[in-house]
Structure 1
Amino acid sequence: MSVAGADDEHWFDDDAGRLVRPYTVSSGRTEPTRRMELLSMVIATGRIPRGHLGPEHAQALGLCGNVTTVAEVAARLKLPAVVTKILLSDLVDWGVVDTRSPDPMADSANPVVLENILNALQRRL
């Protein structure tokens, strides 16, 4: 079994993919508690979370050290966008992450915007 790099958790295998299914990561939930777009901006508040964070929540929080988008967090976590939104909405509910709506100029239906996001994500991964 070939395990992915040091940045990935032990729950990812190069050949098999993610070993923990997305519905497990979201505790079976299919809807986030907060409305977020793929281009919504997220950033850690610096507050310390109460209690223990699960591995996916901790990893998502770690990715929010600088302002980033929901799409970028999803790509780095290698999770579907809706599961990432659920994780991030939990973090917002716990007060450890803030979110704001995307810039009105960042129309997610605009092909140029989507291409720019794709190019940025490919450069970072």
Structure 2
Amino acid sequence: MSREHEWIDEEAGPVVRPYAVARGRTKPAASSTLDLLATIVSTGSPIPAKAELSAQHRRLLSTVSGQARPVAEIASDLGLPVAVARVLLGDLLEHGLISVRPPRDKAATPAESLLREVINGLRAL
């Protein structure tokens, strides 16, 4: 078997290890802000000339342009492990290409009893 065919899976296509996609990094530079439920949105800024963005970076950027999405959803849609998605998102954040909104504070969400009252009120209509 030639080395060319070693990295191809018949059903999945080319196989690349997650650490290769993240260039060997395991943690994003801005790990504290990239919670699984943090919402990511593109800033719409042009890509800086000094930015070395891979195809995966560009796929991530196109996924969040136009709509805000949680980190976990982005990783799932692109078929990437969450850790790899967080590293790549950290790169985009450093270049100012995305903004991050932290997840809502649990105290800021309505109480379950209030939601039940709304549902019961809607059913009564």
TM-score (norm 2): 0.69
Relative to 1, partners in 2 of residues 1:14 and 1:73: Cα closer, same or farther, differing over 3 Å?
A: farther
Question: Given the superposition, is the C-alpha separation of residues 32 and 69 from structure 1 closer, same or farther in structure 2, using an over 3 Å criterion?
Answer: same
| 1:46 aligned counterpart, secondary structure | coil
User: What is the number of equivalent residue pairs in this alignment?
Assistant: 96
The match for 1:37 among 15, 35, 43 is: 35
Per-residue deviation, residues 1-40 of structure 1 (Å, max 9, x unmatched):
xxxxxxxxxx996724661111011000011111211100
Q: 1:65-118 CA distances to partner (integer Å, 9 max, x unpaired)?
A: 110010111001111101100000100000000001101139xxxxxxxxxxxx
- For the residue of structure 2 that corresponds to 1:62, the secondary structure is helix
Q: Which residue of 1 aligns with 2:119?
A: none
SS in 2 for 1:103: coil
| Cα separation, partners in 2 of 1:94 and 1:105, compared to 1, 3 Å | same
What RMSD in Å do the two structures reach over aligned CA positions? Answer: 2.3
The offset of 1:54, in angstroms, is: 0.9
The structure number with the bigger radius of gyration is 2
Q: What residue number does 2:73 align with?
A: 72
Structure 1 moving runs of 4+ over 6 Å: none
Other-structure match for 1:57: 57
Identity %: 38
Amino acid at match of 1:105: K
Relative to the length of structure 1, the TM-score reads 0.69
Which of 31, 44, 63 is the aligned partner of 1:46? 44
